A and B are shown apart, each in its own frame.
Chain A
Amino acid sequence: MKALSVILPIAAITMACGTERGTGSSSPTGGTVIASIPGDAADIFPAFVGEQNGAAVRDLVFDRLAAIGPGLNTVGDKGFTPELAKSWTWASDSLSIAFSLDPKARWHDGKPVTAADVKYSFATFTDPKAHSPVAPLLVNIDSVAVRDSSTAVFYFKKRTPEQFYDVAFQLFVVPEHIYGKVPLESLRTSELIKTPIGSGRFRFVRWESDVRIELVADTANYRGRPKLDRVILTPYTESAAAATQVLAGQSDFVQAYPIDRIAELDSSKQARGQTVPTQQYTFLGMNPFVPRSTRREPHPVFADIRVRRALSMAVDRTAMLHNVFGDLGRIAHGPFPMGLTTSDSTLRLPPFDTVAAAALLDSAGWRRGANGMRSKNGRPLRFSMLTLSTSVPRMKYAVLLQEAFRRLGVRADIERMDGKAFQARVVPEGNHAGDFDAMLNAFQPDPSVSGAKQNWATEGIGPDGQNWLFYSNKTVDAALDSSIASFDPAKAKAYASRAFQQVIDDVPAIWLYDVIYVAGVNRRLEIPPLRSEGWHVNLADWSIPPAKRIDRDRIGLAPPAKR
């Protein structure tokens, strides 16, 4: 920033004088945040968003009917706060909910948000012609009716504890007068969805592929003006370069500062670290079937629960956590991230006990040979661990696990794969078992127990689920179903705990850590605790005190003269 400060005083004279009222140097509002994001957004239109970068833009530009609370409760409407819906009324049979829209809500082009927009949004998200990935999550909604211009009524097929969550969390409202002109089958490739018009607290300005996505404050927003003037999201592909940009003050925020460079933030005058909770947990999953086997023949190593349990007991999870994350790590407690309402840190995990682990392997017939490695009937105890090469923590864990297993007389080979190649190996094709022995993977389930069901219930096995380990236990299925069907949050949690304990006891995986990022944040930013649903969720409440503002914070809201 030193060199830029030489240029900018000259530039300040020629700036477009875009200082709108309220963004001056002493105003509580104002400032520009440049946030580095890991790669460009794939989609930014709500019906098609499927990854975190697109989700950030979607959440800032568009609104839901109601927002989930910090407690991430998904049962009933407890904790939900109004967004586009000012209030809602449940029908006496709970089979419909009438949402009254905020009369002050406006699209960014000035037109009012109406119940017809809500109906159109539901149609867009659910029509098979649009291929929206959100459609399967809205299957319990039968229809939407427009009672009057500001009241939309959702009718449900059946009463469920999460029916409100289904509507409020999964559905975003988009303007019919803008997108209704485009046939649904061509919406995905339409240029219109690349310059979205929403009702959120930030307006979309521009998207230059691989360069930036720019948003500005919607100053007349019905939910209040954001404290910042402008947000620029700049994609990066090299995390070391993104970290350097934060340290140099060129970027203000990077969500996942490289784990091996976090100490730099302590000594930096420009940036500091701030933890970012996530809803991800990481585990070493063990394939109970021969990789790619059509008939799912039992895996020669992992089909035996004694081997899985022994391997789990050979892992000092606490020491590994400290080794990789220092004081910043958070241990995993089972098949769930700790941020959810159903999380339970009191469940019993296999203890770290290498003597007992060795005894278990001996009893399973895997005995040490002269070279110290174990074998059974001439077959060495050996498998491969598939891991994502782009994840530094997972790569470090792979090495630590390999060493822990070696001490037990087990040979584990590490297979490193990149993004889509990794997924292509992990996700089973049709009814084939996945193409791996063991995989170091992370799941990020929805806040609802339904997310856990997708990963660990028998129903999640198959092309539409994500139970890639083919884990199946009827007790777990029943307990998860009971949890989902329970209207009492305490009971829902108790059922979920029962299910999770059973999963832990069956040892389909070794639970390693909850993913916590350390964000690199410019010291001039004042930001509330970051939320696990996404670093950007309360971006409208981030601020830059007037005394700490730099040149780019004083640009104001007006577009440049030459744009």
Chain B
Amino acid sequence: MGQRALAARLWQSLIVVAVVTTISFFIIRSAPGDPFAYDNPRITPAIRAQLRAEHGYDKPLPQQFALYIWALAHGDLGYSVSKQGPVSRSIAETLPRTLALTGLSLVLSLLLGVIIGTLQAARRDGWFDRLSSGFLLFFYSLPDFWGALMALLVFAQWWQLFPAGGMVEEAVHDYLAPWPAFLDRLRHLVLPVASFTLLTLAGIARYQRAAMLEVLPSDFVRTARAKGVPERSILWRHALRTGLTPIITLLGILFPALLGGVLFIEKVFQWPGMGLLAANAIIALDYDLVTATVIVGSLMVIVGNLLADFLHAVLDPRVRV
């Protein structure tokens, strides 16, 4: 990607963030109530009014928006009423947890999806193609929330193979030696990561299969075969490189879908990441926190897309202009 194109994409991204910020700012404020709306019979309206004034929520909406943008321009994401601290602190605590979950799931689903899709294309209409397609289609058609709850029921409640939620075994984790502590973390990752991976695996495998079916009859594959290149090498070294390009594009589209799913997965598995933070913030009508999670989410989507463009350029020299 040339410097000009990159600069243009960055400008576009900035506009997207600005629009997203504006929309989320006004949408959350249009919901009935506010962060200090009644939730405790003991907090009198007078105290609620004082608290609203302290946080500037009594000012006219355009003024609130101007103040928010001014603070945002200075790197201040605001104050979380429900967490009683700077929003940046809550984001800093939860974002790495979400990135660990989504990152691991994305890598796994890409890896497995590419392998399965490639094998399906190589053995088109064979038993593996049919069986794996049916299997993946089944998981693809499950609603996110239901799929996660079923995983919880089967693997945590019935078979008790994996923990039913959380990041670690709360009581003992801090007392474990490094290796068991690592295993403990790993065990807690299994169900949320698996649920997440199954969410996206089918789509990737399907794309990969289609891409490979287009690539495999190509001239360069036929030439390689005529030259006596082993079939395995043709598939995994020559054809796959070309067949990967659409998957990289898919990566950019996949990111927003993952962020949507993170809300459900973190809620079901009590994974204290940004999805859970956002869900709780919405319930609490924590204005600044909701807006900040939306901004960070949109930034993640933008970065994901830029990354996809970059990888696309690496894999396909034709787009390096």
Contact = CB atoms under 8 A, between A and B. Distances in A.
Interface in B157-207: 157, 160-167, 169-172, 174-177, 179-180, 183-184, 187
B54 to A, nearest CB: 9
B213 interface: no
Interface stretch (A63-71, A236-244, A345-353, A480-488): A236-244
Interface string A317-351: 00000000000000000000000000000000000
Contact of A420 (B169, B268, B283): B283
14 contacts: A4-B169, A10-B179, A11-B177, A15-B172, A42-B84, A50-B39, A131-B51, A133-B42, A133-B47, A234-B166, A241-B165, A250-B166, A424-B38, A552-B169
Given A40-B280, A238-B267, A209 B93 contact: yes
A134 interface: yes
Given A133-B47, A419-B283, A463-B45, A11 B160 contact: no
B285 interface: yes
A552 B165 contact: no
A256 B153 CA distance: 19
Interface of B: 31-33, 37-47, 50-51, 82-84, 90, 93-94, 149, 152-153, 156-157, 160-167, 169-172, 174-177, 179-180, 183-184, 187, 267-270, 272, 276-277, 279-280, 283-285
Interface string A154-176: 00000000000000000000000
Given A3-B161, A14-B180, A137 B172 contact: no
Interface in A26-74: 32, 34, 39-40, 42-43, 50-51
Given A136-B44, A237-B270, A241-B269, A3 B160 contact: yes
A552 B172 contact: yes
A230 interface: yes
Given A1-B160, A137-B42, A211-B170, 20 more contacts: A3-B161, A3-B187, A7-B183, A10-B179, A11-B180, A14-B176, A42-B82, A133-B42, A133-B44, A194-B84, A208-B272, A209-B90, A211-B272, A236-B270, A241-B268, A241-B269, A420-B32, A420-B39, A423-B39, A463-B44
B180 A454 contact: no
A240 B149 contact: yes
Contacts of B41: 454, 466
A34 B171 contact: yes
A555 B43 CA distance: 40
A194 B37 CA distance: 23
Interface residues of A, number: 69
Give me the 6 closest cross-chain CB pairs, A-B, nearest first: A424-B33, A50-B40, A14-B177, A133-B42, A552-B171, A560-B174
A463 B40 CA distance: 13
Contacts of B280: 39-40, 210, 237
Interface of A: 1-4, 7-8, 10-11, 13-16, 18, 32, 34, 39-40, 42-43, 50-51, 131, 133-134, 136-137, 188-189, 194, 208-212, 230, 232, 234-238, 240-241, 244-245, 247-250, 417-421, 423-427, 454, 463-464, 466, 551-552, 555, 560, 562-563
Contacts of A1: 160
B175 A50 contact: no
Contacts of B284: 419-420
A434 to B, nearest CB: 11
A539 to B, nearest CB: 16
Nearest to A270: B160
